[in-house]
Structure 1
Amino acid sequence: MDADPTDFTPSSSSPTGEGVTVVIIAYNDAEHVRDAVASALDQGAAVHEVIAVDDASTDATGALLDVAAARDLRLRVHHRTVNSGGCGTPRNDGLRLATGRWVMFLDSDDVLPAAAATTLLDAARTSGAQVAAGACIRRELPLGREVCWQPALYREARTYASPTAEPRLVRDTLCVGKLYDRAFLQDHGVGFPDGRFLYEDFVFTARVLAANPRLALLPDTVYVWHVRRDSGTPSLSLDRREIANWQARLEAHRRVTAILQAAGREELVSAAHTKFVDHDVRMYLRELHTHDAKYQQRWWQLTREYLAGFPAHAVDAARAPARWCARVILASEAPVDLRRLIELAARPGRLLPPYAVIDGQAVWSTALPQVALDDILTKPVGRLPVTVTAEVRPGRRTRLQLRVDDLYGRLAEARPVTLELEVASRTAPDRPLTHGRAPLVAAPGGDAWTAELELDVRQLAARNGGHGHPEAWDLAVVVHCADGTRARAAPRPGVRQLRRTVVPTWHGLLLLQPYCTTGGALAFRTDRGLDGVTRLLARRVRRLLAGN
């Protein structure tokens, strides 16, 4: 069987314009598609044309695109008569219809920042690169939290003569946020898998890297990826409720490594395996508690079988929490220690007790002594997956009772002294509120320390977005040690039930909701005013009426 079934016949047409063709794909997205089209047309002279492919929408998407095309001749609309079931086929349609010298992709619910096309085009022309890429901002809505995708690759402007000069490029699996030389794609037959194929970006990106382009990377933000967690219909890749999603991801990764292997890009094959351990396994593992036992069993079986084919050096090259998780999965035929694994897979990781040492080597447990936790006895304490547990007593001055577990005796060596609490809004994570320090007191038994801190929620009220705008807050603790070590951790909720409370403040009523994130960390939601309280009461009434 061909290692790279291309599923794509490139257009034979030569570029008729030196500018950029922006290919937009849309399906039943009348609410957002106009913003995407406007952001592409507003790029200015750099954009030669915009091709919008309507994948047989059943809402007003197609009509809205036609209206926009009548207003701007640079916009061409292609209406598919049958829905493709995925994102690859409409993107391939756009590639075939493109006439620009360069091409970039845009999804209908995302936007291009101002001058993104110009920035990428200038970089490609200056460097002679066939691919120019910039930073992609992942914006979570409705809260507006922004995170840079693969920031390590986009800290500074760099040009690579070949992808093998920077194997970490396999970690950026997005096809968006990049500008491609269309002739280069044509010459190498690079396209997307057709039909309902999840993670088509993975395969497309692998084909691009296998073709060995010259690449220019920029720190400039050139794409805004909108992640709508409250959407009634999650995107294909974000819908991870069924095991079929994980199976699709495994199949995509198999295709990626087969493509790179066939092209002789051994460095990239190894990097792709390591990325899978670092990113894919860890991401799904930290969400495993949201699924039932049947899903967990099947996920474990599929993952174990797949990881068994990885070379040991590729697993060993992954970051410590991820490679330890992979080793546990490989060592046990059935799911084991899921609570500990899920906590370790969080970001930042937390390694829960019990801690075992055999023959001077830290291991996962006495039941799995073959799983070595390498480096844990020598790694600097500040880089260890420290576990901090917090019991919450909500109120105007919310009290947190915190426990810091001693990790294989390493914290005791550093002599913990105080604990500091930081609270950061999801919309401004770089401006955390500091809530002072508290002394750490050794717990009975000598295997932990405890502290008590107060969180003055009036500060949250002052920073809250206002009436009708809930806010999410992440917590972090910093353990200060006598030897100068600082260990940072995200506290996890304790056993006491997390309950909502309404707090009167100078800014009016504040609804305070402690909750556990998908990654197992303690966080808070706040909402100001009577509107927030009314929403809370309405939710309670609905649950009562439903019999919950």
Structure 2
Amino acid sequence: MSVVVIAYDDAGHVPDAVRSALAQGERVADVIAVDDASGDGTGEVLDRIARKEPRVRVVHHSLNSGGCGTPRNTGLRLASAPWVMFLDSDDVLAPGAVDRLLTAAVRYGADVAAGACVRREIPDGREVRWQPQLFETEAFHADTSAHPELLRDTVSVNKLYAREFLNRHRLRFPDGAFPYEDFVFTAGVYAAAARLAVIPDPVYVWQVRRQARRLSISLARDTIGNWRSRVAAQRFAVHTLDHGGHGALADAARTRFLEHDLRMYLRELPLRSSAYREAWWNDTRSLLDGDSRTAQALKSASAPARWAALAVLSAPSPPQEDGLGRLATLAGRPGRLLPPYALGPSGAPVWSESLPAELDGLEALAPEALPVTVDAEVTPGPCTRVDLTLHDLYGRLREAGPVSVELELVERATDRVGLRARAAWTEVTAEAPEAPGSPMAPLSPVAPETPVTTSRWTARIDGLELAGLTASHPVAAWDVRAHIRFRDGAVNETTVRALRAGLRRVVVPHPRRLLVLLQPYATHDGSLAFRVAPGVRGALRIARARAKRVLRGRLSERPAPASAAAASPAPPVRHAGEPT
């Protein structure tokens, strides 16, 4: 088989990519490395590798193509082996990936074989699987067009392709400066009714470098051009599916875009400038109001994604800071619906009094699927205390009966649970002659004069010895997850909202580490997390990191000089995958 490696101005990383392909063994007949007119010596690095390794063939573009599609197409055109894979210069193939994919492809007589794509955060090493539910077990799909759920996997680099299949269906990447080209190529593969073998093994490692001088396209989401490129690729992919006679797949692609892409950008909207927000809001409203098929996709989307999209569609301009944060929280994973809760003129739950977008389907959600809100107030110290408040949601929680809550502290770098603690909920009720229009009234009709009981629940978890946590990193971040158990045994898993009171750093004495610095803080979506830094060195790391953040914030507030404002920013690094 052939591995096509594409590279542009990446002399530092491309040797690792090529070596990871050669290390797959003799089943890799050749590695076709395409240098897309680099200016940093990448071409020379590849030439040196090729002089020592006969399986490496280097192709030099004389002009930069501006995207990932053209160099991939070049490599595909030159490939002579019956199978082909694609690899970006800053990523690597997992050990044994080719052998496992080829074995599965031959076993099932497949046109395409796919394995798990792993996102590895550099430098901390945290690994997260892309769309893990699609790669839980080995499977074979005789016709991808009959499996809309596969559209959630939009990347091309975690797959092995039969070259004859690609040629027969004339499947190529969009040429030139076309970001998110994977959307279009993968849609073409699914529309061609590929015979797909799936294996649970990791085969591709997408290396995420958030501190790089130039971010990859999938990480450089702070420009409106990035969003417009993503929307354009989505429309192209939907057209490909529709034109191929796969209307059901096209509708599934529309729903997937709302579930994944729209929510991701909406979560980040509070971080953007006012000019970006206005442009994004206008573009997105036009997208959502585009046609009847998009309206149908809205109805098919899950409740948090549907409600967030309807709120955007209902408002002519983006809300102010509080409302924007509330909307971003609903778009989170898991989504949380923050109070205050309002009812519209008809008595139906709505987004807010000023924005009466209905929260349709709320009454049908199971307790474990409700977008509940748990507030947390922290008292840090040698034995940290967390006071929790669970808010009722239009009477639904009162019906379900919250019984207990278990907090988990999960190390962000490894997803390892380091600490668990449980407490019982105590109900706090208030009775008032509220009409059915009250946001705390149950969703079932009641007489206007009937007293309505409003509820919330409180719990205290005391004695959390966070200083004793052992982590894989000198300064470890620990996310807090809450598991809310109801009367019938159902469990709702969510994050908790950090209230500002108590979010202060404390130094805790420790018998072995002398001291440990604890810092409870709110993440960008308002969720509670802890930084734990053992020893004097760890405390200094946190202090230096905070000083850098403050300095960057002050520099970003300074007006740019006229010459700098007129200059175009450096383009982001082109990256193939989009497992975000």
1:459 aligns with 2:446: no
Question: 1:283-320, CA deviations, whole angstroms, 9 ceiling, x for partnerless residues?
Answer: 10011110122211211110110111242321111111
Sequence identity (%)? 50
Partner of 2:298: 315
- 3-state DSSP of counterpart to 1:44: coil
Contact 1:69–1:77 (8 Å) recurs in 2: yes
Partner of 2:348: 361
How many angstroms does 1:243 deviate by?
A: 0.8
Moved more, 256-265 or 270-279: 256-265
How many angstroms does 1:125 deviate by?
A: 1.6
1:45 aligns with 2:26: yes
The 1:292/1:146 distance shift into structure 2, 3 A limit, reads same
2:353 corresponds to which letter in structure 1? Answer: T
How many angstroms does 1:413 deviate by?
A: 1.8
* In structure 1, distance between residues paired with 2:549 and 2:122: 25
1:333 aligns with 2:339: no
Matches within 5 A, 1:349-498: 349-358=335-344, 359=346, 361-369=348-356, 371-442=357-428, 446-454=454-462, 455-460=464-469, 463-465=470-472, 469-496=474-501, 498=503
Matches within 5 A, 1:211-290: 211-290=192-271
Contact 2:466–2:532 (8 Å) recurs in 1: no
1:75 corresponds to which letter in structure 2? Answer: V
* In structure 2, distance between residues paired with 1:544 and 1:111: 35
CA RMSD of aligned residues (A): 2.3
* In structure 2, distance between residues paired with 1:545 and 1:264: 55
1:465 corresponds to which letter in structure 2? Answer: S
The 1:329/1:223 distance shift into structure 2, 3 A limit, reads same
* In structure 2, distance between residues paired with 1:398 and 1:184: 60
Moved more, 31-40 or 444-453: 444-453
- 3-state DSSP of counterpart to 1:186: helix
How many angstroms does 1:149 deviate by?
A: 1.1
* In structure 1, distance between residues paired with 2:471 and 2:125: 13
Moved more, 509-518 or 402-411: 509-518
Partner of 2:568: none
The 1:55/1:518 distance shift into structure 2, 3 A limit, reads farther
* In structure 2, distance between residues paired with 1:69 and 1:278: 44
Contact 1:29–1:61 (8 Å) recurs in 2: yes
* In structure 2, distance between residues paired with 1:361 and 1:432: 42
1:448 corresponds to which letter in structure 2? Answer: R
Moved more, 222-231 or 347-356: 222-231
2:299 corresponds to which letter in structure 1? Answer: D
How many angstroms does 1:430 deviate by?
A: 4.9
How many angstroms does 1:201 deviate by?
A: 0.8
1:521 corresponds to which letter in structure 2? Answer: S
The 1:545/1:522 distance shift into structure 2, 3 A limit, reads closer
Across the two proteins, how many residue pairs are aligned to each other?
Answer: 524
User: With structure 2 as the length reference, what TM-score do the two structures score?
Assistant: 0.85
Contact 1:443–1:450 (8 Å) recurs in 2: no
1:215 corresponds to which letter in structure 2? Answer: L
**Pairing partner for 1:526 from 528, 532, 544:** 532
How many angstroms does 1:410 deviate by?
A: 1.2
The 1:547/1:260 distance shift into structure 2, 3 A limit, reads closer
How many angstroms does 1:274 deviate by?
A: 0.4
How many angstroms does 1:514 deviate by?
A: 2.7
How many angstroms does 1:439 deviate by?
A: 4.2
Partner of 1:536: 542
Partner of 2:77: 96
Contact 2:404–2:424 (8 Å) recurs in 1: yes
Contact 2:31–2:57 (8 Å) recurs in 1: yes
* In structure 2, distance between residues paired with 1:141 and 1:541: 22
Partner of 2:332: 346
Q: Which runs of 5+ in 1 are unaligned?
A: 1-19
The 1:119/1:344 distance shift into structure 2, 3 A limit, reads same
Partner of 1:504: 509
Contact 2:376–2:386 (8 Å) recurs in 1: yes
How many angstroms does 1:155 deviate by?
A: 1.8
* In structure 2, distance between residues paired with 1:181 and 1:32: 28
Question: 1:318-340, CA deviations, whole angstroms, 9 ceiling, x for partnerless residues?
Answer: 11100111111222222243222
Contact 2:7–2:89 (8 Å) recurs in 1: yes
Partner of 1:79: 60
Moved more, 237-246 or 91-100: 91-100
* In structure 2, distance between residues paired with 1:545 and 1:424: 30
Question: 1:113-167, CA deviations, whole angstroms, 9 ceiling, x for partnerless residues?
Answer: 1211111112212212111111111222223222221122222222222222101
2:479 corresponds to which letter in structure 1? Answer: D
* In structure 2, distance between residues paired with 1:97 and 1:324: 48
Contact 1:142–1:230 (8 Å) recurs in 2: no
* In structure 2, distance between residues paired with 1:516 and 1:230: 21
* In structure 2, distance between residues paired with 1:208 and 1:191: 10
How many angstroms does 1:443 deviate by?
A: 6.7
Contact 1:458–1:506 (8 Å) recurs in 2: no
Question: 1:352-371, CA deviations, whole angstroms, 9 ceiling, x for partnerless residues?
Answer: 112234545333233344x3
2:530 corresponds to which letter in structure 1? Answer: F
Partner of 2:283: 302
How many angstroms does 1:436 deviate by?
A: 3.2
**Pairing partner for 1:26 from 7, 26, 38:** 7
How many angstroms does 1:421 deviate by?
A: 1.1
Partner of 1:11: none
How many angstroms does 1:497 deviate by?
A: 7.0
Partner of 1:16: none
Contact 2:325–2:525 (8 Å) recurs in 1: no
1:375 corresponds to which letter in structure 2? Answer: G
1:331 corresponds to which letter in structure 2? Answer: S
User: With structure 1 as the length reference, what TM-score do the two structures score?
Assistant: 0.90
